[in-house]
Structure 1
């Protein structure tokens, strides 16, 4: 009797709380996807394709839409812990569920570490006396505390941080549209002449639109969180339906419109010169043109909030993925335990150790190790996205019913998304960064595969995967 009670308690201790509203879920995904890439990193993509990069962002948003909608349909039917990884374990095989989740955990750790370094650098912009390492520890403590509190508190804070970014981008687009099409008393409307000046709309050729996708697609990284948050949604069916549709529409509009505004107001070669520097950000160039005082300080605040929000969301995702792996016997069992607040504390702590290590590597630049880690991120994200779409095709072939909405076009749309991802990966033939990603990612996958078949396969208990689906079914 005692053993049975203990087993039951342990079973209950592995459950997560369903506390996230549909608005919070959408904002959590936005928090990860709407990051510093828009405010600072757009210069690299502009440098590759010129004004035609607008088409790259439009194509990228369509590819991202297939991923988000496929995840949304599956998650609305199965709001399981571990999201896309657990779905892959059911509809493909336990191996693919294992590989996708471990690769994604590495993604979250590396990205969170990089975002913390960025936060520390933006803080040093205002307070140079604070060393970068101290800034990393300060912001790490902040996001760890947020994640340890409760998922409800996490959702509220992430909603607030993401709202700041969303409002800022919306205001930027609104003000920029006035400058482009209406003008101010002190200056006439800029119009769209800059889009075709200095070499035309596609000064680097139309092939550059394809090549720029290797940079542009990663601006949409974070949409996977829609699937992971499903296990903690108050009303999974409604929340996921709303979040999947609104998130991708907002991201597509924000990226395409914001980049379009920048290119209408700033010569593309000048915008392309911006390289991860607040003072030379395309946003600062536009704010300066409007005459907003302290444009660099406003932008620094925005990128600090963007980086902190992305770090917070990625730590959340990493802890939930680790909790899911542990629940299925693919990580130390202790990581499956949750606190009285239904928070996977061990998963948060383990992910935090990893992210601080990644941050140290990024700050120190030891042997370029962090650059290779980020190359693995590039490879892993592409593979995870592809597995999401392949899982969706397998899901639809089973004829599953009960989803609260369906992706238009079903498997055909998923196949188009897969073709788009293959096109992005095909830039490996001409892009040095993608070549490094393949050289690092390929051996990493081989190593993970060997580890699975030699050590971990025997630890999987299919009953645990079935349990996750049964639990999700009871909450629909």
Structure 2
């Protein structure tokens, strides 16, 4: 069996989804998924760890994200399917790898939905401090679940609108910040804040490196462009365009906005974690109504990221089912081509977030982030390893003609793999992220045992007869 036929069998079992996402929507989905709570809320914790050195943290995170997107774009152009990097790991590394990557990533994003909905409840307290958090969690979750249940086209329209609001607001923030910092009429704002409060690296290189973990959490969801390729009208064109546009926008939006925030507000005031640094800056500037407006934008950003994450987890569970790794019902589609059962199961993170929010209201965000980030770090690390195997596989067979190729192979791929492994190991030495490996390692062990005891035979049967999963 040649390589095309081999992977074609994996792609064939994931048919039935509707190709209704345009190239413009794909680009907005990619950027929208990555501009959420990680930037607007998580950056406050990152600043607390690194001080002004957080700019280096996010630059390192951006480098890793750039390398990851290059590897992922090359594989996605070759194989546009909703199983994405989970399906690639299954074919190029092995069935167990495909199982672990999909489930670890699915669990990560399900829990990340919990961080977004937790943040949404915090943002609503700005206007309604007396209303219980669970009310907002229930209200907004219901609206987004309904959006995802209608059709992929409805999801695409909503996500495009959400992302447009976020991008417009960030551009306006950049223009305002640039005017205040460079205008010369506000001496209290300026780059002297970078060194005036304990230096550029107040907690040393170790603090800067720890903040890279939060930077990666902030960039999380850029990989969903590969998942969405399975429902794109022109997947090859959409993936290449999204790769180019997304990386430029992320660099501008993250690094430029953080640079301006740190110039307008001392890092020890913007890195408290109690509120978004964007809100803190607007309170400092004192423009009437600006604080409420930026809080609304942050709310939209969280809703957008949550919307994207519900979409991604639903498609990943759908892929697991079609591979024989999850109950067959999870792979069933509605008349509109939506895996509704997979969507329902993927809402478990919302329920968990509600319980954590009630039990640990002050620590809920960091706790949910520490637990959820393991699957993302593991999936990103495996994407680099899978790309290495992908390229070696095709080189041994004379190469694969593609319109997009990752540069710098094998060193760029190995650099990304090494950095991700180092970040994953670092979580063991940071109190705030101690739960990452405490949760992650037993979870991987449990998944491996489940695969060996219950899943392997069913997956082999589906591989022999793909019709069994339909």
State the TM-score, normalized to the length of structure 1. 0.89
- Runs (5+) with no aligned partner, structure 2: 1-11
- Once residues 115 and 414 of structure 1 are traced to their aligned partners in structure 2, the CA distance between those partners, rounded to angstroms, is 30
Q: Find the counterpart in structure 2 of residue 317 from structure 1.
A: 312
- Once residues 69 and 198 of structure 1 are traced to their aligned partners in structure 2, the CA distance between those partners, rounded to angstroms, is 38
- Once residues 374 and 212 of structure 2 are traced to their aligned partners in structure 1, the CA distance between those partners, rounded to angstroms, is 14
Q: Find the counterpart in structure 2 of residue 472 from structure 1.
A: none
- Once residues 162 and 467 of structure 1 are traced to their aligned partners in structure 2, the CA distance between those partners, rounded to angstroms, is 37
Question: What's the offset of the Cα at 1:244?
Answer: 1.6
Q: Find the counterpart in structure 1 of residue 349 from structure 2.
A: 355
- Once residues 141 and 205 of structure 1 are traced to their aligned partners in structure 2, the CA distance between those partners, rounded to angstroms, is 44
**What's the CA shift string for 1:31-87, capped at 9, x where partnerless?**
221112222222221122211111111111001111111111101110012111011
Alignment of 1:29-428 (within 5 A): 29-128=30-129, 130-184=131-185, 187-188=186-187, 190-273=189-272, 275-277=273-275, 281-352=276-347, 354-365=348-359, 374-399=369-394, 400-428=399-427
**Conserved 8 A contact 1:389-1:415:** yes
- Higher mean alpha-carbon deviation, 233-242 vs 42-51, is at 42-51
- Once residues 13 and 87 of structure 1 are traced to their aligned partners in structure 2, the CA distance between those partners, rounded to angstroms, is 13
- Once residues 51 and 452 of structure 2 are traced to their aligned partners in structure 1, the CA distance between those partners, rounded to angstroms, is 47
- Higher mean alpha-carbon deviation, 65-74 vs 125-134, is at 125-134
**Conserved 8 A contact 1:114-1:358:** no
Question: What's the offset of the Cα at 1:312?
Answer: 0.8
- Higher mean alpha-carbon deviation, 365-374 vs 336-345, is at 365-374
Q: How many pairs align?
A: 451
Distance 1:42 1:366, change over 3 A: closer
Question: What's the offset of the Cα at 1:467?
Answer: 6.7
Q: Find the counterpart in structure 2 of residue 473 from structure 1.
A: none
**Conserved 8 A contact 1:13-1:339:** no
**Conserved 8 A contact 2:46-2:214:** yes
**Conserved 8 A contact 1:81-1:324:** yes
- Once residues 403 and 376 of structure 1 are traced to their aligned partners in structure 2, the CA distance between those partners, rounded to angstroms, is 37
**Conserved 8 A contact 1:182-1:189:** no
Distance 1:308 1:23, change over 3 A: same
Distance 1:305 1:211, change over 3 A: same
| Secondary structure of 2:196's aligned partner | coil
Indicate the RMSD between aligned Cα atoms, in angstroms. Answer: 2.4
**Conserved 8 A contact 1:13-1:337:** no
**Conserved 8 A contact 1:335-1:346:** yes
Q: Find the counterpart in structure 2 of residue 437 from structure 1.
A: 436
| Secondary structure of 1:125's aligned partner | coil
Distance 1:397 1:159, change over 3 A: same
- Once residues 13 and 338 of structure 1 are traced to their aligned partners in structure 2, the CA distance between those partners, rounded to angstroms, is 11
Distance 1:16 1:27, change over 3 A: same
Question: What's the offset of the Cα at 1:378?
Answer: 1.8
- Once residues 356 and 304 of structure 2 are traced to their aligned partners in structure 1, the CA distance between those partners, rounded to angstroms, is 19
**Conserved 8 A contact 1:14-1:327:** no
State the TM-score, normalized to the length of structure 2. 0.90
**Conserved 8 A contact 1:118-1:307:** yes
Distance 1:62 1:462, change over 3 A: farther
- Once residues 44 and 411 of structure 1 are traced to their aligned partners in structure 2, the CA distance between those partners, rounded to angstroms, is 34
**Conserved 8 A contact 2:32-2:159:** yes
Q: Find the counterpart in structure 2 of residue 6 from structure 1.
A: none
| Secondary structure of 2:26's aligned partner | helix
Question: What's the offset of the Cα at 1:225?
Answer: 0.4
Question: What's the offset of the Cα at 1:418?
Answer: 1.1
| Secondary structure of 1:460's aligned partner | helix
**Conserved 8 A contact 1:117-1:136:** yes
| Secondary structure of 1:126's aligned partner | coil
Distance 1:293 1:369, change over 3 A: closer
Question: What's the offset of the Cα at 1:175?
Answer: 1.5
Question: What's the offset of the Cα at 1:383?
Answer: 0.5
Distance 1:315 1:266, change over 3 A: same
